[in-house]
Amino acid sequence: MTIQFTELAQRIAASRAIAPDDLMALRREGWGDGRITRGEAEALFAINRSLGGADAQWVDFFTEALREFVLNGSEPRGMCDEQEASWLIDQIDADGRLETMAELELAVSVLEKSRNVPDSLKHYVLEQVERAVLFGKGPTRDGGALSDTHITTAECAIIRRVIFASGGIAAAAVSRFDAEMLFRIKDATLGCDNAPQWQPLFVDGIVNYLRGFTLPVAQISHARMKELESFIADNRTSVGGFLGRMARETPQVYNHFGKVFGRKQSSESYEGRQAAGEQITDNERNWLDSMIDANGEVDELDRAVLEELAQDL
């Protein structure tokens, strides 16, 4: 981090305001070489905490720069490991809670753009949105203003982006954690002045969880991706030795590589897994019954889920 960047960041933070010329200077001084350092990233967080407001140009710059740091600041590029996710959460929580739309947009953007991201980050974002819905305070509530319990259009959009994000252990699929969060919000906001997007989101999320499926190769670990990229870059590496290690340590990934190297596949096809995922198991049925029974009634949103599930029976 250069002296010029440090002085610029300190001046902006002290003034608690940022002008278009300041944004251009931050981009030039901090991103001129195409890389963001940890010191520069933490300085941007300090500026964001001082601003408080949600200037659109600042949110765009803050999101772009910090996402670049988290996803491409170390190898393998395009991925967020546990350490990086923990650093991001710590920075957002430095003042006690997630307070600004810039921070929320950054976290959601990392989930959407990462090839792999720990569930801890996804859970953290959903917990922040759930807290805003239940207690009426947070960045989705007009900069933190207290309001009645309900779910807003902004919160629906964020939840949809997060639960269907490409990163995470169940990439682009709704997990049980996600589905149970949707039921908690549903029970807490029944009869409230909710956004019209809420019912379609709830139905899509629950049905996706019950009928969705994930491939065992949907996500490759951060460490395994580094090994794979090193193998590809080094033409002296033994293919047989590498695949042997993959078979011992990550059998499902090895089976996937078999397609590339001509190995006959004995596992189910994509279509087979999809068909199996469409079938609701006894455990899933029992889970759905318990979720519906939690508030003592079959409400309008419960019926919408049941009707959607019944369409293909």
The two three-digit tokens of residue 188, written as one number: 């807490």
Interatomic CA distance for residues 158 and 163, integer angstroms: 9
Cα Rg, the chain, nearest whole Å: 23
310 occurs within a structural domain: no
250 occurs within a structural domain: yes
First to last CA, the chain: 61
Interatomic CA distance for residues 108 and 80, integer angstroms: 13
pLDDT along the chain (313 residues), means of 10: 90 95 93 87 95 85 96 91 96 88 95 91 95 89 71 96 73 86 97 96 95 55 55 50 51 43 46 57 93 95 94 67
Using DSSP, how many helices (H) and how many strands (E) does the chain show? 16, 0
Return the pLDDT at 167. 56
* Cis bond before residue 76 (omega within 30° of 0): yes
CB-CB contact of 63 with 106 (8 Å): yes
Q: CB within 8 A of 204, min separation 6: which ones?
A: 160
**Are 131 and 250 members of one domain?**
no
41 occurs within a structural domain: yes
Structural domains in the chain (count): 2
**Are 32 and 153 members of one domain?**
yes
Return the pLDDT at 95. 80
Interatomic CA distance for residues 63 and 248, integer angstroms: 39
Return the pLDDT at 299. 96
Return the pLDDT at 256. 42
266 occurs within a structural domain: yes
The two three-digit tokens of residue 175, written as one number: 């997990």
Return the pLDDT at 109. 96
147 occurs within a structural domain: yes
The two three-digit tokens of residue 5, written as one number: 């960047």
Return the pLDDT at 52. 73
205 occurs within a structural domain: no
Amino acid at 95: D
78 occurs within a structural domain: yes
CB-CB contact of 203 with 301 (8 Å): yes
Interatomic CA distance for residues 167 and 182, integer angstroms: 19
Q: Which residue range is the domain that position 244 belongs to? A: 222-275
**Are 265 and 120 members of one domain?**
no
Return the pLDDT at 219. 52
**Are 132 and 242 members of one domain?**
no
DSSP string, 60-125: HHHHHHHHHHHHHSSSSTT---HHHHHHHHHHHGGGSS---HHHHHHHHHHHHH-SS--HHHHHHH
Return the pLDDT at 188. 96
